[in-house]
Structure 1
C-alpha cells in the first residue's frame, strides 16, 4: 500500500503533468485522484508524440488500468469535464472517471462574475474560469453540488470511500494537486493567490485521505521559476534575459506570457517544510542547462548541473529523486531506488 501526493513547489507551471504521467506509468497506481482548486489550472501532457492540455482529468490518464477520481474538494465545470472525455476518448477516460457527489459545480454565472472582476484578472492572475466565485458560494453554502446535476449521475462515486478501500486492501493511490504552494490562500503571496489552500495537507483532504495514510509527498520544482499575474517575485529577471536564456513561457489555459525568474532557494525550503516533502522532482533542467538535454543518466549530467542539484538537496534536506531533461517521458533520470 502506497499513497503519494504530488505538489507544485512554487507558483504552478512546474511541469507536474510530465512528472505525474511518468510516475503513474511506472508505478501503475490503482487510483489516480485529482485534488486542488478546479479547471483554472492546466497540466500539459506529452505522450506518444501528442500533446494534451488538461484542466480536470488527472494527468495520469495514460495509465489506462487506473480509475480516475475527482475529489470532493475540487470544483467541477461539467462542460470542461465532458470536453475532456471527448478529447481523451481513445484512452477510455469517460468510462474510468468518477466525480465525488460533494464536488461544487461551476456555473455560467460563476464564469461571468469571474470575468467581470478585472482587478483579479490583471493583478492576481485569475483565468476567468469561475473558480473564485464558486468557492465563495461554497463558503456561503449556496453552491450546487455534483449530486444535484442530472448529467453527472452516471459518473458519481464516493471518492474517499473508494480511495481508502484501495489503500486498506494493499493497493496504490496517486493524488495530483493543482496550482502551486506559493498560490496557497494561506501560505502564498496573499492577496496574489488562488481561492483555496494548495498544500499537500489540503490535497489529501480534497480526496478524503487522512494524514496517517500518506506515504510520499513529491514536491515539483522547475530549474528556474515562473508565475502569472502580479505579486512578489524576488528572483524575477527581465523578459529579455529570459529570452536570452531560452526560458520564456506561456500559460496552458490562458496563453499568457509568464514572468520568469531564477530558482528561489528560500521559497523551496519553505515549500518543502510546509508540504512535508519526502522527495523533490526537478523539471526543465535541459532548458537551463542545454548540454544536459535528453540525458537519462545522472553520471552524464554536467558538473554545473550536479552542483545545482546537490545545493537544492543540501538546503532543503530533501532528496532530488526525479530529474526531467526533456519533454519526452524517456527524458527522465529516476534516482528513487538509489536515494530512498
Structure 2
C-alpha cells in the first residue's frame, strides 16, 4: 500500500503533525499538496517542540524526502525563515523538493488579503492575512506567479505587470492605498531564485516514479475537511481542497494510486476563524478544553474556539474523503470530566437531522443533540495499549468509532511522539 493520504476530519488543528511524524519513519516521501503558511503543525520529538507552517512534517524524519507539491502556495520569505530555524537546530533540510508549478505568494497578494479583510468588517471571513486566498484567486484567474517563473525575468515581469494592472486600481481607488511598483516586486522575487533553485524539481515525475518503485508516499493535507473550498462550511473556508481528492490534483498523482485515506480526529472539536460551529462552548467547559488542550493556533496565534465532539461532521468527513481509518488525538485532554457530551445529531427547526445539511442556512441554525458518555479520572498518558485505558475511556473511543463510520487505528494520549496507542497498523 504505497500511497496514503492523511488529512484533518474537522476544521483543522486536529494534530496532523503528530500523525505524520508518527508515520514519517516508515515512509519515503511526505507531500504537502495544498494550502500555504496558513496551516500549522506542532511536532514534539523528545523534549523538543517544532512548529511547522509550510514545510511537510516529514522534514523531521531522517531518510524521508519532504515535498511541497504543485497545489501549495509558497511565500519564499516564510519558507527560508522556517528552513533557517530548522537548520539552526541541527535538522537536515537538504532533501526538500518544491514543485516548479507551485504558485508564489507575492507581496501584493498579502497586501490585498489584509486590506480586503479589513474592508469587510463584521462580514470578514477570518483569514490569516497571509495572502493565501488572493494567490489562489490569481491562479484561477491565470495571472499567478509560479516558482518556475523566477527563472525567466521577462516572463516574470510580464506576469507581475498583468497582475498589478487590476490590483493597483483596486488598491488606489477602492482602498485608498498606494500603488505597488512592478519593478520592486520583480526585484524581490528574483532575489529568492538562487536559493530556491536546489530545491525545485518536477515533483509530479518524482512522486509517480517513486510509486512505480513501490516507495511509500504520504500525502499530508493542511487545514481540515470542513474548511475545504468545495466541501466545507462555505464561505468560511480556506481557498483550496484539503480533502482527499485534493491530494491527486495538488501532487499530480492519479486516484488509483491512493490505497489508504486516514482522517485525523480530535477527541473534541475546535475551530479557528469565523463561521458556524454547532457544538461550540461559551462556558467553563469550553475554557477548560482550551486551557488543558493548549488550544492556540500554531500559525495564527489565535485562541481556538472549543466544543464537544461532533459525530455528524465526522461521518461527513468519512463520506467525502472515503476514509479508511481515523487517528484520534488528544484523548488525554478529556480526563477529569464526570460525563462527556457527544453530538450525535442536530435539531433544525424542530427536526432531528443526522447528516450534515447541505444548506448553509440550515447549518447556521443547527443545534446539537447530545448523548452523554461516562468520563474517567485516571491518567492515560502512560498507556501503551488500548487495554491500558480505563474502561470508560475505551467505551468513549468505541462509541466515537461507531458514530463516525471508520475504524480508529491510533489514539493520541499525550503530545509526545511516543504518547500514541497504535490499535491497527497504517502501513
4+ residue runs over 6 A deviation:
none
Please tell me whether the aligned partners of residues 58 and 65 of structure 2 are also in contact (alpha carbons under 8 angstroms). no
Deviation per residue, 1:275-315 (Å, 9 max, x gap): 01011000000001253223221101122211121112222
Residue equivalent to 2:327 = 281
Check if 1:227 corresponds to 2:226: no
Secondary structure class of the residue paired with 2:54:
coil
* Distance in 2 of aligned mates of 1:318 and 1:115: 40
* Distance in 1 of aligned mates of 2:52 and 2:122: 21
Residue equivalent to 1:160 = 204
Structure with higher Rg: it is: 2
Residue equivalent to 2:77 = 79
Q: CA deviation at 1:248?
A: 5.7
* Distance in 2 of aligned mates of 1:97 and 1:185: 28
Please tell me whether the aligned partners of residues 59 and 96 of structure 2 are also in contact (alpha carbons under 8 angstroms). no
* Distance in 2 of aligned mates of 1:52 and 1:260: 23
* Distance in 1 of aligned mates of 2:109 and 2:205: 29
Residue equivalent to 1:261 = 307
Residue equivalent to 1:213 = 257
Residue equivalent to 2:220 = 176
Q: CA deviation at 1:120?
A: 8.0
Larger mean Cα displacement after TM superposition, 303-312 or 316-325 = 303-312
Correspondence for 1:32 among 24, 30, 33: 30
Q: Gaps (5+ residues) in structure 2?
A: 151-192, 337-377
Please show how residues 93-108 of structure 1 align to structure 2 within 5 Å: 93=93, 95-108=94-107
Secondary structure class of the residue paired with 2:112:
helix
Residue equivalent to 2:114 = 115
- When residues 184 and 87 of structure 1 are mapped into structure 2, their CA distance, relative to the original with a 3 A threshold, is same
Residue equivalent to 1:70 = 68
Please tell me whether the aligned partners of residues 199 and 274 of structure 1 are also in contact (alpha carbons under 8 angstroms). yes
Residue equivalent to 2:44 = 46
Residue equivalent to 2:156 = none
Cα RMSD for the two superposed structures: 1.7
* Distance in 1 of aligned mates of 2:229 and 2:274: 15
Larger mean Cα displacement after TM superposition, 187-196 or 283-292 = 283-292
State how many pairs are aligned.
Answer: 336
* Distance in 2 of aligned mates of 1:272 and 1:232: 20
Check if 1:325 corresponds to 2:413: yes
Q: Gaps (5+ residues) in structure 1?
A: none
Deviation per residue, 1:40-97 (Å, 9 max, x gap): 111111113111111111112121111111100100111111111111112211x111
Residue equivalent to 1:187 = 231
Check if 1:13 corresponds to 2:59: no
Please tell me whether the aligned partners of residues 39 and 299 of structure 2 are also in contact (alpha carbons under 8 angstroms). yes
- When residues 247 and 68 of structure 1 are mapped into structure 2, their CA distance, relative to the original with a 3 A threshold, is closer
Residue equivalent to 1:134 = 135
Q: CA deviation at 1:121?
A: 9.5
Q: CA deviation at 1:262?
A: 0.4
Residue equivalent to 1:295 = 383
* Distance in 1 of aligned mates of 2:400 and 2:139: 39
Please tell me whether the aligned partners of residues 315 and 404 of structure 2 are also in contact (alpha carbons under 8 angstroms). yes
Q: CA deviation at 1:323?
A: 0.2
Residue equivalent to 1:306 = 394
Larger mean Cα displacement after TM superposition, 47-56 or 179-188 = 47-56
